[in-house]
Amino acid sequence: MMADETPHPAPEASDESSAPPPEAEIPPVATASPQRPRSKRRRTIIAIVVLVLLAGAVLLWSYLNRFESTDDAQVDAHLYPVSARVSGYVVKVNVDDNQYVQEGTVLVEIDPKDYQLAVERARADLANAEATAQSLEITVPITSVNTASQLQSTESDVEAANAGIIASEKQLSASHAQLEEAEAIDARAQNDLQRYKALVDKQEVATQVYDQALATAKASAAAVAAAQANEAAAQQAVRQARSRLAQSQASHHYAETGPQQVSSTQARARAAIADVQQKRAALAQAELNLGYTKIIAPVSGEVNKTVVVGMNVQAGQQLLTVVPLEQVWITANFKETQLKHMRVGQKAEIDVDSNGRTFKGHVDSIAGATGPVFSLLPPENATGNYVKIVQRIPVKIVLEPGENKDHQLRPGMNVVPHVRLQ
């Protein structure tokens, strides 16, 4: 072995006698044997690379099939129009365009003087109505007591008048009897006087007897006159008693209307209470109108205003619009063929064109119909030349909490959502 490793001198090219035999010029076979393993390794590497690429393609295809995306998507939000609830002159505007305001911030102020006067007038009307109602509340029990006592008094007066009539009629009867008795005595006395007058003229009786008869006749005539006067007085008393009875009965009839008078007073009291409630409601409305002179932000967000100081605004006129940047969502119009495996709650990633950021969210809801169905004039497909068009259905994607805390997403921005299917 050691002898083989001893170097031999190289043959000279010019010496043809020392050239190797023809068989020794075929050594290319010996050089081809080391290239075969290299080509085999190359083919192996190529095969491995192809398998890796195929596996990567399969994995990429599987990964991509787990997502659905669309570029027909925008950022949406509820725009809050802020309008005046009362008319008046704008005296102050506290915000500028695109200024961020908190909920409850006073945005616009309308001149409150007219509404302050309305509040004062409403308070005065309420005080007047309350006084009237209080007076009627006091009058009701007084009226009730007065009518009850008046009814009892008139009943007593009627009974007394009846008793007076009875007494006066009895007195009239007695007077009439006395008159008849006096007339009878007077008639006898006058007859006796005439007889004694004839006898005196004939001097058959003494003059003293005639004088006594004359005195008796005069006395009986006076008694008749007195009895007639007593009868006339008794008749007058009867008439007066009957008049008192009629008056007492009339008073009693009027007193019997006392319950109706009490009811009427109670009705007026209730009407006064209702008037108080009406005036109180008018005062509350006036105070509300005074409060409406300060227009506040309904939500937090950026302001887009169209009002300036000096405008005379009307009730219902829109003055500003508040954009709640913390309440935005994504409306993605997916093709109907993309909704086969899409469900509420699936995670989503939203790529924003404006800043290149990616936001996280999830599917909140899927619209109940395609967009054209909600349009003013929905399409009518019952035609002879119908062409099937793939429809798009709006899908609402909401952001996870805190994703838009820097308010980078604005309504109307174009985004590309990727929904991860489960």
Is 33 within a domain? no
Q: What is the pTM of this model?
A: 0.59
**Same domain, yes or no: 257 and 147:** yes
Res 87: pLDDT: 95
Res 131: pLDDT: 92
CATH number where 377 lies: 2.40.30.170
**Six-digit token pair at 131?**
């006084």
Q: Exposed e or buried b for every residue in 277-289, given b needs 16+ CB within 10 A?
A: eebbebbeebbeb
Res 8: pLDDT: 42
**Same domain, yes or no: 194 and 298:** no
The phi and psi torsions of 285 (rounded to 5 degrees) equal -65, -40
Res 309: pLDDT: 95
**Same domain, yes or no: 127 and 197:** yes
**Residues of the chain falling short of pLDDT 50:** 1-32
> What is the chain's length?
422
Give the torsion sign (CA, 11, 14, 19, 25).
positive
Write the CA distances from 153 to 161, 257, 302, integer angstroms: 12, 14, 81
- 192 beta partners: none
CA-to-CA distance for 11 and 89, rounded, in angstroms? 121
Res 63: pLDDT: 62
**Same domain, yes or no: 195 and 343:** no
**Same domain, yes or no: 188 and 300:** no
Write the CA distances from 380 to 94, 129, 384, integer angstroms: 50, 64, 11
CATH number where 106 lies: 2.40.50.100
Is 253 within a domain? yes
- Name the residue range of residue 397's domain: 69-78+325-420
Q: What are 27-66's pLDDT values in tens digits?
A: 444 444 556 677 778 888 888 888 888 888 877 666 656 8
**Same domain, yes or no: 379 and 299:** no
Res 34: pLDDT: 54
- Count: domains in the chain: 3
CATH number where 141 lies: 1.10.287.620
Res 305: pLDDT: 92
Query: Which value, to the nearest 10 degrees, does the dihedral of the CA atoms of residues 243, 249, 250, 253 take?
Result: 180
**Same domain, yes or no: 96 and 120:** no
Res 36: pLDDT: 64
